[in-house]
Amino acid sequence: MASGEDRPTISAIVPAYNAERFIADAVRSVLGQSIPVIECVVVDDGSGDRTAEVAETFGPPVVVVRQENRGVSGARNRGVTASRGQLLAFLDADDSWHPTRLERQLNALASSPAHEAVVCGTRMVDAHGAELGKIVPDADVTVERLLLWESTTVSASSNVLVKREAFEAVGGFDESLSTSADWALAFRLVERAPLLTVEEPLVDYRVHGANMSSDVRRFERDMLHAYDRVFADAGPSIASLRRRAYATLHRTIAGSYFVERRLGGFARHAVRSVVFHPSTLPYFLGLPARRIRRRLRGERDPLTNLRASGTPRG
Number of domains in the chain: 2
Within 13 Å and on the Cβ side, how many CA atoms surround 202?
A: 27
Around Cβ 145, how many Cβ atoms within 10 Å? 15
Residues 234 and 149 in one domain: no
CATH code: domain of residue 79 = 3.90.550.10
Task: Output the pTM of the full model.
Answer: 0.87
CA–CA gap between residue 158 and residue 232 (Å, rounded):
28
Residues 81 and 201 in one domain: yes
Domain C-terminal end among 211, 241, 256 = 211
Q: Is residue 76 part of a domain?
A: yes
Confidence of residue 192 (pLDDT cuts 50, 70, 90): very high
Q: What is the pLDDT of residue 299?
A: 53
Residues 186 and 220 in one domain: no
CA–CA gap between residue 80 and residue 172 (Å, rounded):
9
Domain C-terminal end among 211, 241, 275 = 211
Q: Is residue 3 part of a domain?
A: no
Q: What is the pLDDT of residue 293?
A: 59
Q: What is the mean pLDDT of residues 262-276?
A: 95
pLDDT tens string 202-234: 999 988 755 444 589 999 999 999 999 999 988
Q: Is residue 1 part of a domain?
A: no
| Better-predicted residue by pLDDT, 275 or 295 | 275
- Alpha carbon dihedral 219, 19, 70, 171, in 10-degree steps, equals -70
Residues 271 and 152 in one domain: no
Domain of 250 in residue numbering reads as 213-309
Cβ proximity of 11 and 84 under 8 Å: yes
Q: What is the mean pLDDT of residues 16-21?
A: 96
60-64, 87-91, 190-194, 309-313: least confident range: 309-313
Residues 165 and 62 in one domain: yes
Q: What is the pLDDT of residue 131?
A: 87
Residues 28 and 63 in one domain: yes
| Better-predicted residue by pLDDT, 13 or 312 | 13
Q: What is the pLDDT of residue 307?
A: 42
Q: Is residue 2 part of a domain?
A: no
% residues pLDDT > 70 (the chain): 87
Confidence of residue 106 (pLDDT cuts 50, 70, 90): very high
Residue 31 has pLDDT above 90, yes or no: yes
Cβ within 8 Å of residue 285, ≥6 positions away: none
Cβ proximity of 75 and 314 under 8 Å: yes
Residues 235 and 105 in one domain: no
Residues 181 and 261 in one domain: no
Residues 103 and 207 in one domain: yes
Domain C-terminal end among 182, 211, 240 = 211
Q: Is residue 314 part of a domain?
A: no
Task: For residue 4, give the 3-state DSSP assignment.
Answer: coil
Residues 103 and 159 in one domain: yes
Q: What is the mean pLDDT of residues 69-89?
A: 97
Residues 147 and 34 in one domain: yes
